[in-house]
Amino acid sequence: MSSTDNTIRPDVRAFLDMLEALQQPQIHELPLADARAAAGKMAEMADIPPLDLAVIRDLACPGPAGEIPLRLYDAKDSRDPGPVIVFFHGGGFVIGDLESYHSLCTEIAARTGLPVVSVDYRLAPENPFPAAPDDCEAAARWIAASPAELGLEVTGLITMGDSAGGNLTIVTTLALLDDPAQVPVIMQVPVYPIASAIEDHDSMRDFGDGLFLTREVMGWFTRSYAPDPESPRNYPLLRTDHSRTPPTVLLTAGLDPLRDSGREYGARLAASGVELTSIEAEGMIHGFVQMRRALPSTAADMNALFEAIERVLERRS
Active-site residue set = 163, 256, 286
Please state, in angstroms and rounded to a whole number, the distance separating the CA atoms of residues 93 and 121: 9
Q: How far apart are CA 279 and CA 26, in angstroms?
A: 29
Classify 180 as helix, strand or coil. coil
**Residues paired with residue 156 on neighbouring β-strands, in sequence order:** 83
CB within 8 A of 54, min separation 6: which ones?
74, 75, 76, 77
Q: Where are the beta strands (DSSP E) in 3-95?
A: 55-63, 66-74, 82-88
Residues 6+ apart with CB under 8 A from 166: 88, 90, 190, 191, 192, 193, 194, 195, 262
Burial class (CB in 10 A: 0-12, 13-18, 19+), 35: buried
> Residue length, the chain?
317
Pairing state between β 276-281 and 154-162:
unpaired
| Contacts of 226 by beta carbon, 8 Å cutoff, 6+ apart | 124, 125, 128, 129
User: Taking a C-beta distance cutoff of 8 angstroms, is the pair 139, 98 a contact?
Assistant: no
Query: 143, 170, 151: which is closest to 249 by C-alpha?
Result: 170
User: In terms of C-beta density within 10 A (0-12 exposed, 13-18 middle, 19 or more buried), how is residue 80 classed?
Assistant: exposed
- CA proximity to 255, closest of 291, 285, 281: 285
Query: Helix or strand or coil: residue 179?
Result: coil
